[in-house]
Structures are given as C-alpha cells and as structure tokens.
C-alpha cells in the first residue's frame, strides 16, 4: 500500500517563479481587475513590496500603498495573508480604512512577519468583500534549503520551483505544521483538522525519535475519532496514543488533542509517516466516516543524518541539482533509497472495527 497522494494536483500547484533578486520588487495592484467573469471590480490601484532584504528567521516587512479610484461609502479592510503557511503570524492582522473613502486618497500600511521555515511563501494582499477576501496582488518570498533568500518580489516575475514551507533541517525545535488547506487546493481534500508534529530530535538512523502531536478539530459534529498511522517499513514504530474519543465539540476543549508516539529509522533513505484522522460525521449512512491525512516525509543521507523533512514527497518537487531552491543540498538528488512500502498501526478503541463487527440486524436498527 502506498500513500494516497494526488501527484497531478501537486504538479499543477507548482508555480514557476523568478530566479533573481534583481527582479522588479513591487507587485502592482490594478484597479478594475476581474479575477473571474463573475467577480466584483475592485476599486484600488497601487503597489506592494518588501522592505529591505527579507530572509529566514528574521523580521521582515511588506509595505502596501493603495489609492482609491472611486468614492467608497463603507469602510475598507486590507490584509496580508500567507497561503498554506500554518502558524505564520503577520502583524497587524489587517488595517481598516474608515468610511467614507474618497476617490484619490491613498492608504499606506506595513505588515511585519518572521519566516521560521524554508521554502516558498505566497503572500497575498486582499480586500474584505462582504463574507470573503478579494485578492489584489501577490508577492513571493523564496528561501532555499540553506536558509538563503533566492527571490523576493512580485509573483508575476517569479520563475523558481515552488516548494511548500517546511522546517529547515537544522531547526530547533523541529516541528512540521499542517494548515487547513491541502496542497492540491481541492475542496474535497481540504483538511478538517490542523496540527503540528514536534520531534524530540532530527530523525537519524538508529536513533529513537519521540513525536508530540497537537491537533485541533475545525469542523463541527465529529464523533468516534481514531487514528491510523501508515509508516514505511524502514521504520520501527510504537503503538499510537488512545483514540480521540466519542464526541468532539467546537465549543469546548474536546476540540483539542495531544499525544505522543515514537519511531526508529532502521536504514537511510526516505521515511514516511502518514497520520490519518478518521471520524464519523452526522449522516444518514451508518458507515459514513471522513478522513484527514497528515503526511510527513523525511530523507536521511548515507551518513544516516537528516537531509530534508516536510509534508511533501521530496522528489516530486526536487528533480535535478540545478534547482536554486536546493541551495547546497544537491546530495539529496543522489539518495538511492527512494522506494518504500507501508504498514499501519491503529489507535484504540478501534471504532471502525466495532462497526464492522456489529451484527447485521443491529446495523439495520441502529442498536448495539
């Protein structure tokens, strides 16, 4: 059994971005832009750009200047958001342009953040439009595996391979985060749970690694939630912590879960862990269960030490040594042990197993 992963979706999600810091640093905001035929014309023109030289593990700033091209009777709210970067704090959260907003007036705002992971950050400047956020323009910040800034500027000028944000291999503590949105941007694959996996140390051959889970349910009406951990056969894995429980409510602490398990890499190459959170949703079907998958891949070199860890299979993104996002990590391409098969371990109680073992007449009547 292999991890279920939509390779096509991953390839589609790969953007091409600019390979030089010398590119035009300003992202333009075009008034009257139509994102799609049914979208609303936005009333702003202006620019967004990085201040100074943004980089890994240090404060960074984006300045946004927007000019209103028509009088707006209501207050306007502008924000900067990072796409698919869970736990990425931007301050302020947003800025408000108090009504009325006269034609020809300009709003200037500065947003501050600190990237704690390497990879590609897609930073979108958006405007509040009723119950949703309308995109105005987008910036890209690309940080190589070495922690060096490869690109910072408009997404329109970007030509680099897009790599999801992930921990730098020497990060302390080493933590993998999972936002709500999946990497394929498919509503059917968006997660119902957010979470983080904190590793006691970097995975290395013959070293036991403890993993502390911190999960949060984001969708109402879950019950009988348990875990299934798929793991590659080059790992030795402990039992899972106890299943989440019979009912989860977003209004109390039951929406949070914490637990711990351990694993031991037995040989170098790629290792895979895929935690599946399986629970029952309110439905007319007796067996209607939903699954959120939180996959982790890591690679150890011939010396048994960690080269890369993240929520993506590395060779779907990195294909040759000339990729600028690799930085000095070109030996990742030389790793030979890329093939793996999976085993699984289930948490207890096994709610799925209980349903499967339920007598047929009980299923029909809803009785146990």
According to CATH, the topology of domain 1-14+161-368 is Immunoglobulin-like (2.60.40)
Same-fold call for 1-14+161-368 versus 17-160: yes
* Spatial distance between the Cα atoms of 295 and 229, rounded to a whole number of angstroms: 9
Q: How many CB atoms lie within 10 A of CB 341?
A: 11
Q: CATH fold of 17-160, please?
A: Immunoglobulin-like (2.60.40)
CA distance 146 to 121: 16
Interatomic CA distance for residues 88 and 246, integer angstroms: 32
Predicted TM-score of the model (pTM):
0.83
Q: Is the Cβ–Cβ distance between 69 and 58 less than 8 Å?
A: no
In angstroms, rounded to a whole number, what is the distance separating the alpha carbons of residues 301 and 296?
Answer: 17
Q: What is the pLDDT of residues 46-87, one digit of tens each?
A: 999 999 999 999 999 999 999 998 888 889 999 999 987 767
Residue 324's SS3 state is helix
User: Which residue, chain included where needed, has tokens 């056969």?
Assistant: 233
Domain spans, the chain: 1-14+161-368, 17-160
Q: Calculate the CA dihedral of residues 224, 186, 88, 204 and round it to 10 degrees.
A: 70
User: pLDDT (tens digit, 0 to 9) for every residue of the chain, 368 residues total?
Assistant: 333 333 333 333 333 444 444 445 688 887 764 445 555 577 889 999 999 999 999 999 999 999 998 888 889 999 999 987 767 899 999 999 998 889 888 999 999 999 999 999 999 999 888 888 888 999 999 999 999 999 999 998 889 999 999 999 999 999 999 877 644 444 445 688 999 999 999 999 999 999 999 999 988 889 999 999 999 999 999 999 999 988 899 999 999 999 999 999 999 999 999 999 999 887 645 557 889 999 999 999 999 999 999 999 999 999 999 999 999 999 999 999 999 999 999 999 998 877 766 555 544 444 44
- C-alpha span between 217 and 99 (Å, rounded): 37
């Amino acid at each position: 059994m292999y991890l279920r992963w939509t390779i096509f979706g991953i390839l589609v999600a790969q953007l091409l971005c600019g390979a030089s810091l010398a590119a035009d640093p300003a992202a333009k905001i075009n008034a009257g832009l139509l994102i799609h035929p049914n979208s609303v014309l936005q009333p702003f023109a202006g620019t967004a750009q990085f201040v100074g030289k943004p980089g890994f593990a240090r404060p960074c700033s984006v300045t946004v200047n927007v000019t209103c091209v028509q009088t707006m009777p209501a207050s306007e709210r502008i924000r900067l958001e990072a796409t698919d970067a869970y736990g990425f704090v931007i301050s302020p959260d947003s800025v408000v342009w108090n009504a009325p907003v006269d034609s020809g007036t300009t709003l200037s705002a500065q947003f501050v953040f600190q990237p704690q992971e390497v990879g590609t950050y897609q930073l979108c400047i958006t405007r509040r439009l009723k119950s949703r956020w309308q995109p105005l323009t987008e910036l890209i910040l690309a940080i190589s595996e070495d922690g060096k800034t490869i690109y910072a500027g408009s997404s329109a000028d970007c030509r680099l391979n897009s790599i999801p944000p992930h921990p730098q291999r020497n990060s302390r503590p080493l933590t993998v985060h999972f936002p709500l949105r999946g990497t394929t941007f498919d509503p059917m694959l968006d997660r119902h749970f957010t979470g983080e996996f904190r590793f006691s140390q970097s995975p290395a051959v013959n070293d036991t690694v403890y993993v502390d889970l911190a999960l949060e349910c984001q969708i109402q009406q879950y019950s009988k939630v348990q875990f299934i951990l798929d793991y590659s056969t080059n790992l030795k894995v402990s039992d899972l912590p106890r299943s989440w429980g019979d009912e989860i409510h977003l209004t109390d602490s039951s929406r949070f879960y914490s637990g711990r398990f351990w694993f031991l890499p037995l040989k170098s190459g790629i290792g895979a862990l895929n935690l599946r959170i399986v629970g029952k949703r309110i439905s007319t079907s007796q067996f209607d269960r939903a699954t959120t998958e939180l996959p982790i891949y890591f690679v150890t070199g011939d010396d048994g030490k960690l080269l890369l860890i993240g929520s993506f299979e590395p060779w779907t993104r990195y294909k040759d040594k000339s990729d600028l996002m690799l930085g000095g990590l070109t030996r990742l391409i030389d790793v030979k042990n890329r093939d793996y098969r999976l085993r699984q371990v289930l948490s207890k109680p096994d709610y799925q197993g209980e349903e499967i073992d339920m007598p047929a007449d009980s299923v029909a009547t809803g009785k146990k």
